Amino acid sequence: MSVNLIIMKKIFIILISVTSFLACKNDTKTESVETTTETSSDERTAKQSDGLTLLKGEFIYYADAAVLQTNKQMYGVVVDEKMHELDNMAKAFKNEVTDFVQVEIRGKITPKPENEEGWPNRVEIKEILNVQVAKESSDVVKLGKE
């Protein structure tokens, strides 16, 4: 029985060590959605007080669906006059209709309605700041005749 007791003590020490190691792990994967500085309302500019968010990412409009992909999240884009304006500007930078275009916009982010399909959040474009060619990706697979 003493051999079993020694083995159980070693397993117990190993479990305590692993638990302690994992408890001390420093989790650096937290992301902040939006960082704001506390300033009084008279110190803020009009753009800081209007409730809109600056978003930079890749935009695509295809088959009646528009998507904006940022570094952290994907947004469904509200299909309205401003989105069509952005799509018309983006067409100049596309080789294929399925190409993404790098954009910088200001918009209002809202959660998607429960009865709709799509991404959890959507953005309504209020201001178009910049449109340019998206970075080339080597992950793209094209099907069809060339």
Q: In this predicted model, what pLDDT tens digit does every residue of 25-65 receive, in sequence order?
A: 554 444 334 333 333 444 445 566 778 999 999 999 988 89
CATH code matching the domain that covers 50-133, chosen among 2.40.50.140, 3.40.640.10, 3.90.650.10, 3.30.1330.60 = 2.40.50.140
Q: Is the pLDDT of residue 140 over 70?
A: no
DSSP of 12-66: HHHHHHHHHHHHT--------S-------TTTS-HHHHS--EEEEEEEEEETTEE
pTM over 0.85: no
Question: What is the model's pLDDT at position 130?
Answer: 93
Q: In this predicted model, what pLDDT tens digit does every residue of 102-137 receive, in sequence order?
A: 999 999 999 988 888 888 999 999 999 999 987 765
Q: In this predicted model, what pLDDT tens digit does every residue of 76-89 receive, in sequence order?
A: 999 999 999 999 99
Would strands 65-69 and 53-62 be described as parallel, antiparallel, or unpaired? Answer: antiparallel
